[in-house]
């Protein structure tokens, strides 16, 4: 994702360790110790209270954002001056999440003419998600969404507690399970009958294991026929990683990419029209739309403009006009992914 950092001023104290995993797309939460101008930075870091533990031997890391890595020297000097043996070493965030004693993680961020020095309070622990991922009764790695991505999608719907979320391409129910854990009632539609059965088994297990009061209703159906199953304007939000085309072992040829895009375009157009019937006014769709880079690096994408011209939706950007404005779509791509996932948020607006 493109956004690297966001500065927030909050009045309450927060439980950073819980929040960082709830946010899912956030890697670290750090507390700003101080901010200063370029000319004061050296002196401020050297004089700051950076470590309040008792050990005289620590490992630390300074993540530098938007500034010169050479500024780490100030931290080195600080520890030397206070007589602590400090080894500068980069640890992966999931290791940081587990490391307790004798490790301190800092962030040095430059924004405009100011530098911010912050100390990390919590790091996301992807293995926490993994436990839940592998312990459910049925998994189907080739088609199931990632838990982290599912959480991010549910968060982006910006819903109030107890709202109802629909995943019309629900597979074995990853988005639905995360939505239930986050306090939403869910509905799922799936074309493949065995996945419907597996999804129900997974959600039953989840409800019992986590003692949830949230409800689920999952059935066999087609995402292009939603108005046959749900009352008009009855759904608060649709959150989904839908059908993304065939599983790719390598980059597709141009012909393969064109065929897949044409098939997905037709599917998504029908789905959006149906979604606009069952969603409440201003209801949102948070959806992953794939794009494909071919073996000769050409990019093939779904025609969103065409979809929107035929359905009652506008692209929605919840961060518009704020200091942390992000662009929509957000690209979600790990190195090993063959397809690039674009995260879109749409809001239902009736045309006049």
Residues of this chain that interact with ligand SAM (CB under 6 A) are 143-145, 150, 167-175, 189-192, 195, 222-224, 240-244
Q: In the block, which residue shows the tokens 């991505």?
A: 149
Shortest Å, Cβ 104 to ligand SAM: 37
Nearer to ligand SAM, 45 or 147 (CB): 147
Tokens of 198: 């597996």
Nearer to ligand SAM, 185 or 222 (CB): 222
Shortest Å, Cβ 178 to ligand SAM: 8
Shortest Å, Cβ 239 to ligand SAM: 9
Q: In the block, which residue shows the tokens 């993994």?
A: 130
Nearer to ligand SAM, 221 or 252 (CB): 221
Longest dimension (CA), the chain: 72
Q: Are 343 and 288 in contact (CB under 8 A)?
A: yes
Q: In the block, which residue shows the tokens 């999952």?
A: 218
Shortest Å, Cβ 279 to ligand SAM: 16
d(CA 281, CA 63) in angstroms, rounded, equals: 43
> At a CB cut-off of 8 Å and minimum separation 6, what does 194 contact?
none
Characterize the bridge pairing of strands 57-65 and 85-88: parallel
Shortest Å, Cβ 212 to ligand SAM: 17
d(CA 303, CA 162) in angstroms, rounded, equals: 34
First to last CA, the chain: 35
Nearer to ligand SAM, 171 or 329 (CB): 171
Nearer to ligand SAM, 241 or 347 (CB): 241
């Amino acid at each position: 994702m493109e956004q690297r950092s966001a500065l927030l001023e909050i009045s309450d104290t927060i439980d950073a360790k819980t929040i960082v995993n709830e946010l899912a797309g956030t890697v670290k939460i750090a507390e700003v110790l101080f901010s200063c101008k370029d000319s004061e930075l050296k002196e401020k870091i050297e004089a700051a209270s950076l470590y309040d533990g008792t050990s005289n031997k620590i490992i630390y890391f300074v993540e530098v954002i938007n500034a010169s890595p050479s500024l780490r020297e100030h931290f080195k000097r600080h520890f030397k001056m206070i007589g602590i043996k400090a080894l500068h070493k980069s640890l992966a965030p999931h290791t940081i999440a587990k490391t307790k004693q004798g490790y301190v993680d800092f962030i040095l961020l430059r924004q405009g003419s100011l530098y911010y020095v912050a100390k990390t309070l919590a790091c996301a622990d992807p293995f926490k998600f993994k436990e839940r991922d592998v312990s459910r009764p049925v998994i189907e790695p080739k088609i199931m969404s990632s838990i982290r991505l599912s959480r991010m999608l549910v968060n982006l719907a910006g819903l109030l507690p107890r709202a109802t979320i629909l995943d019309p391409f629900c597979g074995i129910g990853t988005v639905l399970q995360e939505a239930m854990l986050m306090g939403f009632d869910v509905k799922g539609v799936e074309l493949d009958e065995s996945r419907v059965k597996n999804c129900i088994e997974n959600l039953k297990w989840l409800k019992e294991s986590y003692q949830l009061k949230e409800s689920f209703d999952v059935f066999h159906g087609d995402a292009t026929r939603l108005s046959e199953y749900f009352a008009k304007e009855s759904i608060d939000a649709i959150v989904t990683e839908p059908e993304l085309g065939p599983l790719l072992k390598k980059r597709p040829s141009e012909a393969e990419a064109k065929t897949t895009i044409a098939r997905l375009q037709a599917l998504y157009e029908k789905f959006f029209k149906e979604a606009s019937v069952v969603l409440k006014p201003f209801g949102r769709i948070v959806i992953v739309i794939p794009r494909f880079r071919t073996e000769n690096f050409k990019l093939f994408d779904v025609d969103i403009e065409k979809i929107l011209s035929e359905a009652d939706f506008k692209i929605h950007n919840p961060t518009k006009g704020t200091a942390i404005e992000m662009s929509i779509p957000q690209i979600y791509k790990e190195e090993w992914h063959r397809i690039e996932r674009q995260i879109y948020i749409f809001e239902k607006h009736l045309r006049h």
